[in-house]
Structure 1
Amino acid sequence: MLPLDHIPFYSPDPEALAEGFARLGFTLSPPSRYTAPDHPDAAWRGRCVFTRDGWFDLLFGDQPRTPGAPMSVLFRTPDLAATRRELAALNPEESFHLERGWADDDSLPHERFAYSGLRSRIAPLVLAVIQHAWPCVDLLPAWQEHANGAQAVTALIFGGEAPGPAAATAARFLDHQALEYWPQATFDDAFPGAKVRRAIRVRVADLAVTAAALTAAGARFAEMESGSLAVPPQFGVEAGFLFSA
């Protein structure tokens, strides 16, 4: 079963998006720069948020459908070629290769990626599989320490939407618990005012620490019956967060 690796966000201003994540208590990486070995003129910039298990990629995008919202879910594989063969029924795209460095510091090794989108409709967003080292070779441990206590990115939550026709097939290979489907009314109660009904479940070490960090930042949040903290979209981040212990 392939685990959730990361969730990308696109924005015409990734620095402003990164500031929103920072206000929610996340630690940001330095500015990133992605290049594609097979496309020498291509480059992308952004920021990253790393937890101990899973991460967010905050990338530049000229005209994303919803700036600042989750755009995909990628699942990590140790062998992309083998996974593409296993997932043939999900119509994987050709592999694409990327390399990441830090724009202001070339002293760390570069992280290399190979990924393949899945054409079959599995979820409301396009899913993909990706191969790279974990923990990333270009990652400093201090970047995984967060004021909100974030430990792991565990799921993307959809409100009022349904799985796609290929979901059952994908569940044989991809961690199906990484995709949650909530009734629209339940989602709206937890995350009022969302432009798109998407939220991210994040496991934290101590909910009291999370609540203190959110309060200090002036963030809106509510405690659910389960004890989890529901944070509606704010600060330019067009996703809710569900912090759970």
Structure 2
Amino acid sequence: MSGATGLDHVGLLTRDGPALWGVYERLGFTLTPVSRQSNEGGPLATGNRCAMLRHGYLELLALIEPALPDNGVGRMIERFEGAHILALGMEDPEGNLARLRRAGLEIAGVAPLSRPVTDDGPVAQFERLPLPDAPEGRVQLVRHLTPDLLWQPRWTEHANGATELREAILVADRPAESAARLSRLAGLALEPDRDGGFALPLPNGRVRVLAPEVSAVILPGVEMPSRPAIAGIVLGTTDAGTTRRHLGHLPLRETPAGVMVPPSHAGGVALVFAR
């Protein structure tokens, strides 16, 4: 299949991994162990922990050893610490590479990435097709070669009730341009967003691309330090009451989609737990 197959994950970037990981554990997420990343050139400066959901996941990526190559992560963190990675699933890397080249994108080839799942344990492997020079951040197609290593039951149950990644919300001063880039990468058609702007529908969720005035209604009080950017993430839950009880100590905001943890308490991105 040549085209995006779903909403795979959203990634947050930080200089201080332990601090961000602690924030998400206090939010009620069960995180995978710290995992160092590598590519075909060797070890990278980055390492992550992830909140694996039944569908999709959140990646919490940190600069662990800045002296090593960082694959562009440091440059993105200089913009702001928060959500910079938007990954859509794919099944056919070579077919998608050919499609994107026909569309005029200069992509060198399928980019491999790997990381051990646990210390001295099995290695998870991925294939990526990043959108070159995307101002929105690292927007990419990704294929999991070893999904069973990541989606283990011990990591997919969360005290806050989160079960699935439903939406990523991009805010852009020129939403039509950002939406067109996203559609080109995904190989899928856009549709009008219900609140104004654009939406990319996917089999297991969607990406919304909104102007700042629309985003201000969807995500009240959220202002991004620069645009275009991933401003919000919407998660499905098993039970809204469980979520509210677990997060009751935080300054939650009501939104049209559900209850929102503001960026100041979620690593730089608005985290909405849907009703």
Equivalent position to 1:214, from 247, 253, 257: 247
Deviation per residue, 1:45-69 (Å, 9 max, x gap): 2211111111122112354134531
Q: Which residue of 2 aligns with 1:204?
A: 237
Q: Which moved more, 1:235-244 or 1:169-178?
A: 169-178
Q: Which of 191, 216, 234 is the equivalent residue of 2:264?
A: 234
**Kindly tell me: are residues 148 and 139 of structure 1, through their superposed partners in 2, closer, same or farther at Cα, counting changes over 3 Å?**
same
Taking a change above 3 Å as real, the CA distance of residues 128 and 230 of structure 1, as seen in their structure-2 partners, is same
1:168 Cα shift?
Answer: 4.5
Corresponding residue of 1:106: 120
Tell me whether 188-197 or 157-166 shows the greater mean CA deviation. Answer: 188-197
Partner of 1:2: 5
* Alignment root-mean-square deviation, CA: 2.6
Give the equivalent residue in structure 2 for 1:95.
110
Aligned residues: 238
Contact 2:52–2:150 under 8 Å retained in 1: no
Unmatched 5+ residue regions in structure 1? none
Whether contact under 8 Å (1:101, 1:138) holds in the other structure is: no
**1:93–1:118 Cα contact (<8 Å) kept:** no
- Structure 2: gaps of 5 or more residues: 67-73, 191-199
2:51 corresponds in structure 1 to 49
SS in 1 for 2:215: helix
Partner SS, residue 84 of structure 2: coil
2:127–2:145: 8 Å Cα contact kept in structure 1?
no
Normalising by structure 2, report the TM-score.
Answer: 0.76
Deviation at 1:145, TM superposition (A): 0.7
Q: Which one of the candidate residues 193, 207, 230 is aligned to 1:179?
A: 207
Three-state SS of the structure 2 residue aligned to 1:234 is helix
Instruction: Tell me how far 1:3 sits from its aligned partner.
Output: 0.7
Look up the equivalent residue of 1:60 and give its one-letter code.
Answer: A
State how far apart, in whole Å, the 1-side matches of 2:220 and 2:104 are.
32
Q: Is the 8 A contact 1:220 1:232 kept in 2?
A: yes
Residue 204 to residue 66, structure 1, CA distance change in 2 (3 Å):
farther
Deviations 1:172-192 (A, max 9, x none): 338813321334244335342
Q: 1:65 aligns with which of 57, 78, 81?
A: 78
Is 1:158 paired with 2:153?
no
CA distance in 2, matches of 1:120, 1:12: 22
Match of 1:27 in 2: 30
State the 1:125 CA deviation.
3.3
What does residue 154 of structure 2 align with? 142
Name the % identity.
Answer: 22
Give yes or no for the alignment of 1:18 onto 2:48: no
TM-score by length of 1: 0.84
Q: Distance in 1 between matches of 2:185 and 2:42?
A: 33
